[in-house]
């Protein structure tokens, strides 16, 4: 007799999987199915630990190509027909072993992306549970005993919201390395790395001995064990706020990143910066102010 299972499928942006899709899948599974069905998820392999300890079968999405731009819940360059064909392929593949009782995937037919509100905000569970190997890698490979501060230096070619001063900011914070462990998080090639600081932005061969980890899972563990995350508005500072780690952010969507996406009302210092051109010394001074306040608590 086949076991019951629910099948979830996502191919779009990191931020929308973080904010709308993965939390809905977790809510749905934990609320209705956890004791009686398996959870099967198809997404990018580095996002495994959005589903972490809950997922029974993780199917890495294998159709992604550089020409396909992530756009909300879909991919430009990946035709709608191909999208639904892939959903059908997964259904047929896992129906051989499981009785698929529910499928969860974004409806992408509407050009105005009404699928952004397809998953109701009162049907979300933001308690992510990454697999234990992620924490082990953090403790043995990343943690150096000093308070950690996450740097989220997103930088994508052709994107107007890039902040151009990461190298200058790194020069400013280098003298603080004696007291703080700065950890660069993100995913190559969309980050500005620097050899002076620890980097969690790629698949480090030293970590391959531990199979139960992902880049998202390790990033979560770094953030959960950090005192602050710094970066222009993007998915990683949002993840930090969800995990309860305060953020220092800047950008042009203050309300969204301090209220709408900040579902746990985590402390956030947000600098209005419509052009993403705030000078690095301003960010540095804000950092020093935050650290001084923390000392005096």
Per-residue model confidence as pLDDT tens digits over 74-96 = 787 788 888 899 999 999 999 99
User: Are the C-beta atoms of 194 and 167 separated by less than 8 Å?
Assistant: yes
β pairing state of 69-71 and 57-60: unpaired
Which tens digits make up the pLDDT trace of 94-131? 999 999 999 999 888 765 455 567 888 899 999 999 99
If DSSP codes are grouped into helix, strand and coil, which group holds residue 278?
A: coil
Query: pLDDT digit string (tens) for 24-65?
Result: 999 999 999 998 999 999 999 899 999 999 999 999 997 766
All domains in the chain, ordered by first residue: 3-117 (3.40.50), 132-296 (3.40.50.2000)
Taking phi first (over 0 means left), then psi (-120 to 50 degrees means alpha), and beta for anything else, what does residue 244 get? left
Please write the tens of the pLDDT for every residue from 4-27: 999 999 988 899 999 999 999 999
Q: Which residue shows structure tokens 């043995």?
A: 140
């Amino acid at each position: 007799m086949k076991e019951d299972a629910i099948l979830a499928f996502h191919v779009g942006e990191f931020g929308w999987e973080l904010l709308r899709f993965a939390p809905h899948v977790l809510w749905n599974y934990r609320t209705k199915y956890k004791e009686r069905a398996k959870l099967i998820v198809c997404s990018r392999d580095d996002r495994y630990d959005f589903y972490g300890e809950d997922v029974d079968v993780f199917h890495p999405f294998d159709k992604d190509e550089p020409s396909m731009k992530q756009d909300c819940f879909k991919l430009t360059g990946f035709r709608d027909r191909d999208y639904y064909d892939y959903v059908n392929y997964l259904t047929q593949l896992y129906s051989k072993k499981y009785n698929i009782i529910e499928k969860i995937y974004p409806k992408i037919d509407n050009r105005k992306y009404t699928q952004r509100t397809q998953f109701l905000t009162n049907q979300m569970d933001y308690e992510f549970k990454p697999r234990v190997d992620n924490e082990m890698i953090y403790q043995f490979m990343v943690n150096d005993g000093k308070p950690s501060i996450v740097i989220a230096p997103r930088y994508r070619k052709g994107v107007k919201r890039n902040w151009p001063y990461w190298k200058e900011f790194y020069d400013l914070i280098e003298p603080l390395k004696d007291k703080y462990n700065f950890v660069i998080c993100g995913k190559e090639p969309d980050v500005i790395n620097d050899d002076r600081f620890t980097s969690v932005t790629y698949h480090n061969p030293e970590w391959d001995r531990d199979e139960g980890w992902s880049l998202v899972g390790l990033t979560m563990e770094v953030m959960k064990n950090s005192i602050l995350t710094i970066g222009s508005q993007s998915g990683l500072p949002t993840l930090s706020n969800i995990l309860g780690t305060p953020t220092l952010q800047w950008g042009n969507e203050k309300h969204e990143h301090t209220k709408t996406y900040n579902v746990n009302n985590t402390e956030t210092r947000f600098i209005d910066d419509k052009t993403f051109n705030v000078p690095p010394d301003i960010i540095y001074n804000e950092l020093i102010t935050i650290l001084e306040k923390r000392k005096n608590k």
